Amino acid sequence: MTEPAKPWDGALVRKWLDRRVVAARLDQVAAERAGRAAQDDCDKASAEEMICTALQAPAATDAQDGFVAQLKALLDRDHYIWRGIYDDVRFDRHARTYVRKLMKMAKANNGFATTNRYQ
């Protein structure tokens, strides 16, 4: 892996993951209140919460290579199980999409400083 311009900061990544879990839970609540029309949004937020929760351990975020390896392991799963899902196929698709997004961010070591709710 090429050496990034800035060093990997595991604490910053953990902070970003914590903030994304909180934002995903807020998005789930908003989608639940919106009713049946927003079930896809709820599945998307649930997928984000599941992936971020799975990666919050310090061992997973201390090194960039280890973080990418954890992401690859998540991507290699056949299916994902989480609570409060409306459509399993849609949830799996959203989970894989979010893992791919995080892989791009991790490889480039870019985007973890942005802790806004909406990204």
Query: Would you give the DSSP letter of residue 89?
Result: H
For 75-118, how does the pLDDT look when each residue is reduced to its tens digit (9 = 90+)?
A: 999 899 998 899 999 999 999 999 999 999 999 999 888 877 66
For 2-33, how does the pLDDT look when each residue is reduced to its tens digit (9 = 90+)?
A: 555 689 999 999 999 999 999 999 999 999 99
Find out whether 31 and 82 touch, Cβ atoms under 8 Å: no
Positive/negative CA dihedral, 73, 76, 77, 80: positive
